[in-house]
Structure 1
Amino acid sequence: MDFDPLSLFTPAVATVEDEEQELLNIAEPSASIYRVDSGPEVESESESEEALDEPVHFLDLPLLQLSPPNEVLLLFLKLLAPEQVHNFSKESTATTAIEDPPLSSDIFTEKDVEALVPAALPWLCQYCPRFNSAEKLIRLPSLSGSLKSQPSYNSWLTKVISTPTASDDVLKQGSLRISENCGRTAQPEIIRKITIPDLEKFGKSYISLREPSLTSDNLGLKTWGSSLILSSRLVKSCTSGKSKYMIEPILELGSGTGLVGIVASLLGYETILTDLKEIVPNLQANIDLNEDGAAPKAQVEELDWTNPAPFVSKAPSRKNSYKTIILSDPIYSSQHPYWVVDMISVFLSVEPNARVLIQIPLRPKYEQERALLWRLLDKSGFVAQEEEIEDGFDDFGEMKFCFKQLKRKQRDEQDKGEQY
């Protein structure tokens, strides 16, 4: 085997601190080189659009060794705040189309930094050439996508909140940026903006959904992909004010953040949205958030699948009274199939046209639970009138989803089944 003398050489690894110190050494001797004048001779035909639109690197951020004032730190922290969550992703179908934010001073209003910009610019002109003008600052939110995937970004944020002179606002915003950059389960509360093709025909261009921090025992506080796909189906199938799938009265089981129930209400159908006691306050908040269109037709109530008696006691006639029952992503444990079928059997009307609409993600680890659900439904006398496998996604990636519309088997169908 040939000997390679370079194998004995181990180069020094450059660290974040080394890069920062190098820039610091450049900045300290003559800070005036960063000062920007209005004259054309300074910028030599001004900076090209390509230079202005380069992705932001963490070394473009204010160097903390230069002790940027709180106004500068707060300005950057607010501009680096994530845009409003729009559906689930920038990819895929029209249900997730997202327009790039416009490059205008409106971004300062949206980010609540109008007063911070003039206060921060003197320091930025002296020490931060990448963002030494309002025009450049406007571009920061749209150019920071790759920055947030760099480990050094979290390191910068950590140093920001460790700064002895950091104000309470800086500490709060810095902590939020760190949480937002640690994955969906660590993120703070968000407002998700849901757009669905043709929804505007029913008087609303989008739906706003409040999602508190996600915890493992409160999965109902999260909007899941099944609800968006089912909602899109309901909107698409509603023509001339009549739905292909829904008949009043409607009961939604496990409403979560309420997307499907709110959509059913917007389409003009009286709908009762139900969930566990700890989910109901946020569910009601989302009804209120969309009260301009959905509230008159939407009602929120607590319903525990293991103890439906309190729900029934409010109106004993509720048993076997709902002509449409809606469920979206209701299976999270081995017990859920039993509870789901129990609730359907208790509350679905016995009339021939009564139906169940169910949308379930085909998660790899839940094959047994899904198979159990279908067996229990069949055993309880339900048969699929329509079913479809669809592609979709949510915050956790791409997924296939199964939609089924089920009705009670007619007596002659049950008799035939019993013969075999």
Structure 2
Amino acid sequence: MALVPYDENVLPALSKLHQASTEFTLANHRIRLSQDWKRLGVAAVVWDAAIVLCMYLEAGNVDLKGKRVIELGAGTGLVGIVAALLGANVTITDRAPALELLSANVRENVPPDQQGAMRVSELTWGENLELYSPGSFDLILGADIVYLEESFPALLRTLEHLSAEVLLSCRIRYERDERFLMELRQRFNVKEVYYDSQRDIHIYKAGKSRSSTEL
């Protein structure tokens, strides 16, 4: 499952990713998330793209009250948890090995009276998409899910199938990431809506369909 090998001699800059837990104050809540790089690799740590997307949502840039939201590649669940705390009905998804950690973080951080607005579900991009009906969601969220080139076709198929507005938060590291954005623009109307220069994180908004008008 681990896409990045675990290394006991981690660089100091990455040491926070190897901690067993991490904490944030977002959406007027203290959020404490378990991490498990050793077992699950990149799927089980909080990356800057997730933090920036949460801050973007917290700032009120998107009306989440009562919206049906699905998060792809949720990992620790930070983005989906924050979206739920801000009033959305959220389905947070990842591959099967990540679901135990994801579910535990939801139980730990979502108040009991809001647990009903949260669903943890298995979703491997491009597979069994019939379980997620097109039009079932108002918004798709993804934080740092644009990094593994072989997953790009399946990710694009999943976004097209879900047929909802998309917010992608990512760091553009390589030419392959630019190629993904080019492919995305062939399918959606895409614009950059925010850039965090300190963390070098972009947030892109993709419309439900391509058109000559801006979103």
TM range (shorter): 0.7 to 0.9
Q: Which runs of 5+ in 2 are unaligned?
A: 1-7
**Aligned 8 A contact 1:337 1:370 in 2:** no
> Match of 1:230?
53
Larger Rg: 1
1:170-181 correspondence runs (5 A): none
Q: Does 1:208 align with 2:43?
A: no
**Aligned 8 A contact 2:64 2:86 in 1:** no
**CA deviation digits over 1:366-408, x for unaligned, max 9?**
x22221111111211x11244222134xxxxxx4011111103
| Cα distance between partner residues in 2 of 1:268 and 1:248 | 8
> Match of 1:58?
none
Paired amino acid for 2:75? G
Q: CA deviation at 1:320?
A: 3.6
1:79-98 correspondence runs (5 A): none
> Match of 1:387?
193
> Match of 1:165?
none
Match of 2:75 among 252, 256, 262: 256
**Aligned 8 A contact 2:147 2:177 in 1:** no
**Aligned 8 A contact 2:73 2:145 in 1:** yes
Q: Paired residues, what number?
A: 204
TM-score normalised by structure 1 residue count: 0.44
CA RMSD of aligned residues (A): 2.8
| Cα distance between partner residues in 2 of 1:319 and 1:221 | 28
Which structure dedicates a bigger proportion of its chain to helix? 1
Are the structure 2 counterparts of residues 246 and 328 from structure 1 closer, same or farther at C-alpha, using a change threshold of 3 Å? farther
1:371-386 correspondence runs (5 A): 371-380=178-187, 382-386=188-192
**Aligned 8 A contact 1:180 1:187 in 2:** no
Paired amino acid for 1:299? R
1:164-203 correspondence runs (5 A): 184=14, 190-196=20-26, 199-200=27-28
> Match of 2:105?
286
**Aligned 8 A contact 1:256 1:279 in 2:** yes
TM-score normalised by structure 2 residue count: 0.82
SS in structure 1 of the partner of residue 104 of structure 2: helix
Which protein has greater RCO, CA pairs closer than 8 Å, 6+ apart? 2
Q: Does 1:308 align with 2:123?
A: no
> Match of 2:5?
none
Identity fraction in percent: 20
Are the structure 2 counterparts of residues 368 and 308 from structure 1 closer, same or farther at C-alpha, using a change threshold of 3 Å? farther
1:5-404 correspondence runs (5 A): 184=14, 190-196=20-26, 199-200=27-28, 204=29, 206-214=30-38, 218-237=41-60, 243-244=62-63, 248-292=67-111, 294-309=114-129, 312-313=130-131, 318-349=133-164, 355-363=165-173, 367-380=174-187, 382-392=188-198, 399-404=199-204
> Match of 2:208?
408
**CA deviation digits over 1:329-384, x for unaligned, max 9?**
002221232222111101124xxxxx110100133xxx22221111111211x112
SS in structure 2 of the partner of residue 331 of structure 1: coil
Q: CA deviation at 1:182?
A: 7.6
Are the structure 2 counterparts of residues 246 and 304 from structure 1 closer, same or farther at C-alpha, using a change threshold of 3 Å? farther
Which structure dedicates a bigger proportion of its chain to strand? 2
**Aligned 8 A contact 2:81 2:110 in 1:** no
| Cα distance between partner residues in 2 of 1:405 and 1:187 | 27
SS in structure 1 of the partner of residue 204 of structure 2: strand
**Aligned 8 A contact 1:253 1:325 in 2:** yes
Paired amino acid for 1:193? E
**Aligned 8 A contact 1:266 1:297 in 2:** no
